Protein backbone atom coordinates (compact mmCIF):
# COMPACT_ATOMS: atom_id res chain seq x y z
CA UNK A 1 0.00 0.00 0.00
CA UNK A 2 1.26 3.49 -0.83
CA UNK A 3 1.89 5.68 2.15
CA UNK A 4 0.03 8.90 1.53
CA UNK A 5 0.42 11.37 4.33
CA UNK A 6 3.46 12.51 6.26
CA UNK A 7 2.57 13.16 9.89
CA UNK A 8 5.01 14.36 12.52
CA UNK A 9 4.73 12.74 15.91
CA UNK A 10 6.77 13.86 18.89
CA UNK A 11 7.40 11.46 21.76
CA UNK A 12 8.33 13.17 25.01
CA UNK A 13 10.13 10.43 26.94
CA UNK A 14 12.34 7.83 25.28
CA UNK A 15 11.92 4.91 27.65
CA UNK A 16 10.59 1.40 27.31
CA UNK A 17 7.07 2.33 26.29
CA UNK A 18 8.19 4.91 23.74
CA UNK A 19 10.53 2.33 22.19
CA UNK A 20 7.79 -0.28 21.96
CA UNK A 21 5.38 2.22 20.41
CA UNK A 22 7.87 3.55 17.87
CA UNK A 23 8.76 -0.01 16.90
CA UNK A 24 5.08 -0.88 16.38
CA UNK A 25 4.35 2.30 14.46
CA UNK A 26 7.26 2.20 12.03
CA UNK A 27 6.70 -1.45 11.08
CA UNK A 28 3.05 -0.82 10.24
CA UNK A 29 1.95 -0.63 6.60
CA UNK A 30 -0.64 2.09 7.05
CA UNK A 31 -1.70 5.24 5.26
CA UNK A 32 0.56 7.50 7.30
CA UNK A 33 4.28 7.97 6.89
CA UNK A 34 5.30 8.79 10.46
CA UNK A 35 8.05 11.31 10.91
CA UNK A 36 9.05 10.44 14.47
CA UNK A 37 10.79 12.91 16.78
CA UNK A 38 11.83 11.84 20.26
CA UNK A 39 12.88 13.93 23.23
CA UNK A 40 14.20 12.67 26.52
CA UNK A 41 15.02 14.42 29.76
CA UNK A 42 18.68 13.98 28.95
CA UNK A 43 20.19 12.72 25.71
CA UNK A 44 20.80 9.35 27.23
CA UNK A 45 21.97 6.07 25.74
CA UNK A 46 18.33 5.06 25.36
CA UNK A 47 17.63 7.97 23.06
CA UNK A 48 20.72 7.21 20.98
CA UNK A 49 19.68 3.56 20.72
CA UNK A 50 16.21 4.57 19.56
CA UNK A 51 17.71 6.79 16.86
CA UNK A 52 19.98 3.95 15.67
CA UNK A 53 17.26 1.31 15.70
CA UNK A 54 14.42 3.23 14.04
CA UNK A 55 15.99 6.17 12.25
CA UNK A 56 13.98 8.64 14.32
CA UNK A 57 15.11 12.20 15.04
CA UNK A 58 16.42 12.98 18.51
CA UNK A 59 15.21 16.35 19.73
CA UNK A 60 17.14 18.40 22.25
CA UNK A 61 14.34 20.78 23.24
CA UNK A 62 10.86 19.25 23.12
CA UNK A 63 9.25 22.71 23.25
CA UNK A 64 10.60 23.68 19.83
CA UNK A 65 9.64 20.35 18.28
CA UNK A 66 6.19 20.39 19.90
CA UNK A 67 5.31 23.51 17.96
CA UNK A 68 5.89 21.69 14.65
CA UNK A 69 4.32 18.36 15.62
CA UNK A 70 0.92 17.10 14.51
CA UNK A 71 0.71 14.59 17.36
CA UNK A 72 2.43 14.78 20.75
CA UNK A 73 2.75 11.58 22.78
CA UNK A 74 3.59 11.94 26.45
CA UNK A 75 5.59 8.80 27.27
CA UNK A 76 7.28 9.91 30.47
CA UNK A 77 6.38 8.98 34.06
CA UNK A 78 3.02 10.18 35.43
CA UNK A 79 4.66 12.46 37.98
CA UNK A 80 6.48 14.36 35.20
CA UNK A 81 3.24 15.22 33.41
CA UNK A 82 2.34 18.25 35.49
CA UNK A 83 5.54 20.02 34.48
CA UNK A 84 5.42 19.06 30.81
CA UNK A 85 1.71 19.88 30.42
CA UNK A 86 2.32 23.27 32.01
CA UNK A 87 5.00 23.87 29.38
CA UNK A 88 2.68 22.73 26.59
CA UNK A 89 -0.15 25.02 27.70
CA UNK A 90 1.22 28.15 26.07
CA UNK A 91 2.48 26.54 22.83
CA UNK A 92 -0.21 24.03 21.96
CA UNK A 93 -2.28 24.71 18.82
CA UNK A 94 -5.97 23.68 18.56
CA UNK A 95 -5.34 21.30 15.63
CA UNK A 96 -2.73 19.24 17.50
CA UNK A 97 -3.48 15.92 19.18
CA UNK A 98 -1.99 15.28 22.63
CA UNK A 99 -1.96 11.68 23.83
CA UNK A 100 -0.57 10.31 27.05
CA UNK A 101 0.25 6.71 27.91
CA UNK A 102 0.81 7.40 31.60
CA UNK A 103 -0.85 5.16 34.16
CA UNK A 104 -3.41 6.99 36.28
CA UNK A 105 -3.22 10.27 34.39
CA UNK A 106 -6.83 10.23 33.13
CA UNK A 107 -8.34 11.84 30.05
CA UNK A 108 -10.03 14.52 32.14
CA UNK A 109 -6.72 15.21 33.89
CA UNK A 110 -5.06 15.77 30.54
CA UNK A 111 -7.84 18.01 29.25
CA UNK A 112 -7.88 20.04 32.45
CA UNK A 113 -4.14 20.67 32.18
CA UNK A 114 -4.40 22.07 28.63
CA UNK A 115 -6.37 24.97 27.15
CA UNK A 116 -10.14 24.48 26.74
CA UNK A 117 -10.93 22.48 23.59
CA UNK A 118 -7.54 20.73 23.37
CA UNK A 119 -7.65 17.44 21.46
CA UNK A 120 -6.62 14.70 23.88
CA UNK A 121 -6.51 10.93 24.15
CA UNK A 122 -5.38 8.61 26.91
CA UNK A 123 -3.82 5.35 25.74
CA UNK A 124 -2.78 2.37 27.82
CA UNK A 125 -0.68 0.05 25.65
CA UNK A 126 1.55 -2.79 26.75
CA UNK A 127 5.05 -3.78 25.75
CA UNK A 128 3.79 -6.16 23.03
CA UNK A 129 3.22 -2.92 21.06
CA UNK A 130 6.83 -3.38 19.95
CA UNK A 131 5.81 -6.45 17.92
CA UNK A 132 2.36 -5.14 16.95
CA UNK A 133 0.57 -7.34 19.51
CA UNK A 134 -0.50 -4.91 22.23
CA UNK A 135 -4.02 -4.77 23.57
CA UNK A 136 -4.26 -1.02 23.98
CA UNK A 137 -7.00 0.75 25.92
CA UNK A 138 -7.91 4.19 24.65
CA UNK A 139 -10.21 6.93 25.93
CA UNK A 140 -10.76 9.68 23.36
CA UNK A 141 -11.70 13.25 24.20
CA UNK A 142 -14.80 14.97 22.81
CA UNK A 143 -12.76 17.60 20.94
CA UNK A 144 -10.80 15.12 18.80
CA UNK A 145 -11.50 15.81 15.10
CA UNK A 146 -11.99 13.18 12.41
CA UNK A 147 -8.49 13.85 11.09
CA UNK A 148 -6.89 13.25 14.46
CA UNK A 149 -9.15 10.28 15.11
CA UNK A 150 -7.72 8.75 11.94
CA UNK A 151 -4.18 9.43 13.15
CA UNK A 152 -5.01 7.87 16.50
CA UNK A 153 -6.48 4.81 14.80
CA UNK A 154 -3.28 4.41 12.79
CA UNK A 155 -1.16 4.63 15.93
CA UNK A 156 -3.37 2.08 17.68
CA UNK A 157 -3.32 -0.19 14.63
CA UNK A 158 0.48 -0.16 14.58
CA UNK A 159 0.58 -1.23 18.22
CA UNK A 160 -1.81 -4.16 17.78
CA UNK A 161 -5.44 -4.40 18.82
CA UNK A 162 -7.29 -1.73 20.75
CA UNK A 163 -10.30 -1.22 22.95
CA UNK A 164 -11.88 2.23 22.73
CA UNK A 165 -13.45 2.84 26.10
CA UNK A 166 -14.24 5.35 28.82
CA UNK A 167 -11.69 7.00 31.05
CA UNK A 168 -12.99 4.95 33.99
CA UNK A 169 -12.44 1.74 32.05
CA UNK A 170 -8.84 2.71 31.34
CA UNK A 171 -8.35 3.19 35.09
CA UNK A 172 -10.01 -0.16 35.85
CA UNK A 173 -8.28 -2.16 33.12
CA UNK A 174 -4.77 -0.72 33.44
CA UNK A 175 -3.72 -3.71 35.53
CA UNK A 176 -5.39 -6.20 33.25
CA UNK A 177 -3.94 -5.21 29.89
CA UNK A 178 -1.13 -2.77 30.73
CA UNK A 179 0.55 -4.49 33.68
CA UNK A 180 -0.63 -8.10 33.50
CA UNK A 181 1.95 -9.03 30.84
CA UNK A 182 4.37 -8.80 33.78
CA UNK A 183 2.15 -11.17 35.77
CA UNK A 184 2.11 -13.55 32.80
CA UNK A 185 5.90 -13.41 32.55
CA UNK A 186 6.19 -14.33 36.24
CA UNK A 187 3.88 -17.28 35.59
CA UNK A 188 6.06 -18.24 32.62
CA UNK A 189 9.26 -17.95 34.65
CA UNK A 190 7.92 -20.25 37.35
CA UNK A 191 7.05 -22.86 34.72
CA UNK A 192 10.42 -22.43 32.99
CA UNK A 193 12.14 -22.97 36.34
CA UNK A 194 10.16 -26.17 36.88
CA UNK A 195 11.19 -27.39 33.43
CA UNK A 196 14.89 -26.63 33.97
CA UNK A 197 14.77 -28.39 37.34
CA UNK A 198 13.88 -31.52 35.37
CA UNK A 199 17.08 -31.00 33.40
CA UNK A 200 15.56 -29.34 30.33
CA UNK A 201 17.84 -26.90 28.52
CA UNK A 202 16.78 -23.27 29.35
CA UNK A 203 16.37 -22.44 25.66
CA UNK A 204 14.05 -25.42 25.20
CA UNK A 205 12.19 -24.50 28.38
CA UNK A 206 11.58 -20.99 26.95
CA UNK A 207 10.12 -22.46 23.75
CA UNK A 208 8.03 -25.04 25.57
CA UNK A 209 6.43 -22.48 27.86
CA UNK A 210 6.12 -19.75 25.23
CA UNK A 211 4.36 -22.01 22.73
CA UNK A 212 2.09 -23.36 25.49
CA UNK A 213 1.08 -19.78 26.38
CA UNK A 214 0.60 -18.81 22.73
CA UNK A 215 -1.63 -21.83 22.13
CA UNK A 216 -3.67 -21.11 25.26
CA UNK A 217 -4.03 -17.44 24.21
CA UNK A 218 -5.15 -18.42 20.71
CA UNK A 219 -7.74 -20.82 22.13
CA UNK A 220 -9.08 -18.00 24.32
CA UNK A 221 -9.36 -15.72 21.31
CA UNK A 222 -11.72 -18.23 19.66
CA UNK A 223 -14.19 -16.87 22.21
CA UNK A 224 -14.50 -19.95 24.37
CA UNK A 225 -14.90 -19.60 28.14
CA UNK A 226 -11.61 -20.02 30.02
CA UNK A 227 -13.22 -22.51 32.40
CA UNK A 228 -14.61 -24.54 29.49
CA UNK A 229 -11.13 -24.60 27.97
CA UNK A 230 -9.69 -25.67 31.33
CA UNK A 231 -12.27 -28.43 31.54
CA UNK A 232 -11.11 -29.77 28.18
CA UNK A 233 -7.60 -30.11 29.58
CA UNK A 234 -8.80 -31.77 32.75
CA UNK A 235 -9.27 -35.47 32.00
CA UNK A 236 -11.70 -36.90 34.57
CA UNK A 237 -9.72 -38.68 37.28
CA UNK A 238 -6.54 -37.52 35.55
CA UNK A 239 -3.48 -35.47 36.36
CA UNK A 240 -4.47 -31.83 35.69
CA UNK A 241 -7.21 -31.90 38.35
CA UNK A 242 -4.57 -32.48 41.02
CA UNK A 243 -2.65 -29.39 39.96
CA UNK A 244 -5.79 -27.24 39.70
CA UNK A 245 -6.78 -28.32 43.21
CA UNK A 246 -3.51 -26.90 44.54
CA UNK A 247 -4.14 -23.57 42.74
CA UNK A 248 -7.62 -23.51 44.29
CA UNK A 249 -6.37 -24.36 47.80
CA UNK A 250 -3.68 -21.68 47.61
CA UNK A 251 -6.18 -19.03 46.40
CA UNK A 252 -4.57 -18.35 43.03
CA UNK A 253 -7.54 -16.27 41.77
CA UNK A 254 -7.65 -14.20 44.97
CA UNK A 255 -3.93 -13.46 44.71
CA UNK A 256 -4.38 -12.26 41.15
CA UNK A 257 -7.33 -10.06 42.16
CA UNK A 258 -5.19 -8.55 44.92
CA UNK A 259 -2.42 -7.88 42.40
CA UNK A 260 -4.91 -6.16 40.06
CA UNK A 261 -6.25 -4.00 42.91
CA UNK A 262 -2.76 -3.03 44.10
CA UNK A 263 -1.69 -2.11 40.55
CA UNK A 264 -4.72 0.06 39.87
CA UNK A 265 -4.48 1.80 43.26
CA UNK A 266 -0.85 2.60 42.68
CA UNK A 267 -1.62 3.95 39.19
CA UNK A 268 -4.23 6.28 40.67
CA UNK A 269 -1.82 7.40 43.37
CA UNK A 270 0.84 8.26 40.76
CA UNK A 271 -1.34 10.73 38.87
CA UNK A 272 -0.48 14.40 39.42
CA UNK A 273 -4.11 15.02 40.48
CA UNK A 274 -3.66 12.64 43.43
CA UNK A 275 -0.39 14.34 44.31
CA UNK A 276 -2.16 17.72 44.42
CA UNK A 277 -4.91 16.29 46.60
CA UNK A 278 -2.52 14.50 48.93
Ligand X SMILES: NC(=O)C1=CN([C@@H]2O[C@H](COP(=O)(O)OP(=O)(O)OC[C@H]3O[C@@H](n4cnc5c(N)ncnc54)[C@H](O)[C@@H]3O)[C@@H](O)[C@H]2O)C=CC1
Ligand Y SMILES: O=C(O)[C@@H]1CCC=N1
Chosen residue from 7, 102, 135, 140 binding ligand X by CB under 6 A: 102
Determine, following the binding rule CB under 6 A, whether residue 103 of this chain makes contact with ligand Y. Answer: yes
- Residues 177-216, one symbol each (x = binds ligand Y by CB under 6 A, - = not), give -xx-------------------------------------
CB of 21 to ligand X, least distance (A): 9
Full strand arrangement of the beta sheet holding 134-140? 57-59, 32-39, 5-12, 71-74, 97-100, 119-124, 134-140, 160-164
Which CB atom, from 103 or from 205, has the smaller least distance to ligand X? 103
**Binds 15: which of ligand Y, ligand X, none (CB < 5-8 Å by kind):** ligand X
CA angle 103, 107, 108 (to 5 degrees): 120
Contact 112, 119 (CB under 8 A): no
Chosen residue from 30, 109, 125, 160 binding ligand X by CB under 6 A: 125
Contact 22, 36 (CB under 8 A): yes
**Binds 77: which of ligand Y, ligand X, none (CB < 5-8 Å by kind):** ligand X
- Closest by CA position to 25, among listed 11, 46, 43: 11
Span interacting with ligand Y, options 32-40, 90-98, 171-179, 196-204, rule CB under 6 A: 171-179
**How much is the CA Rg of the chain, to the nearest whole Å?**
21
**Binds 141: which of ligand X, ligand Y, none (CB < 5-8 Å by kind):** none
- Residues 139-168, one symbol each (x = binds ligand X by CB under 6 A, - = not), give ------------------------------
Contact 106, 171 (CB under 8 A): yes
Number of residues that bind ligand Y (CB under 6 A): 4
- Closest by CA position to 177, among listed 165, 189, 188: 165
Amino acid sequence: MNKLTKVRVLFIGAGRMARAMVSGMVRQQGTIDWEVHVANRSNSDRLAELVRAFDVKAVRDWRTSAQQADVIVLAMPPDEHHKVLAGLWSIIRPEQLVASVAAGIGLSGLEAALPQGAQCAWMMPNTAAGIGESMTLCAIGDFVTERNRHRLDEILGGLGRSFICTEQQVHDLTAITGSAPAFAFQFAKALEDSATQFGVDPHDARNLVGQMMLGAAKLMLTGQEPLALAAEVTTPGGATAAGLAVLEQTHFAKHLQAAVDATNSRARALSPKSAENA
